[in-house]
Amino acid sequence: VLQNLSQTPVLRELLKEAKMPGTTVKIESPELSMEPQLIKLDQPGPLTLAMYQFLTEMQETKRGVVTPKELFAQVCKKAIRFKGYQQQDSHELLRYLLDGMRAEE
């Protein structure tokens, strides 16, 4: 899941902009009938910041191995079911991760 998200340029760009409070982001719809929307962003929450830091580390590291320790800790705070390192489905992680980031908006 995290490797796929790291290869999503729009997500990386939005997170880069979102890390700075007071930034205005222009979101354009692929539908021609809708007007572009300008959204002023507040201070990002800890899950959003951890996601940004992790994706940046994945893109820029030369170490080869990146661990999502801080990101996972933030996910566990939002979704306690992930504590304890039990087996979970990847789609559940994706859902809790994106829902948690959206809730921080």
Are 75 and 97 in contact by the 8 Å Cβ rule? The answer is yes
Which tens digit of pLDDT belongs to each residue from 16-30?
Answer: 877 776 777 777 766
Q: How confident is the model at residue 91 (pLDDT cuts 50, 70, 90)?
A: confident
Which tens digit of pLDDT belongs to each residue from 58-75?
Answer: 888 676 788 889 998 998
Which tens digit of pLDDT belongs to each residue from 27-54?
Answer: 776 666 677 777 777 778 899 999 999 9
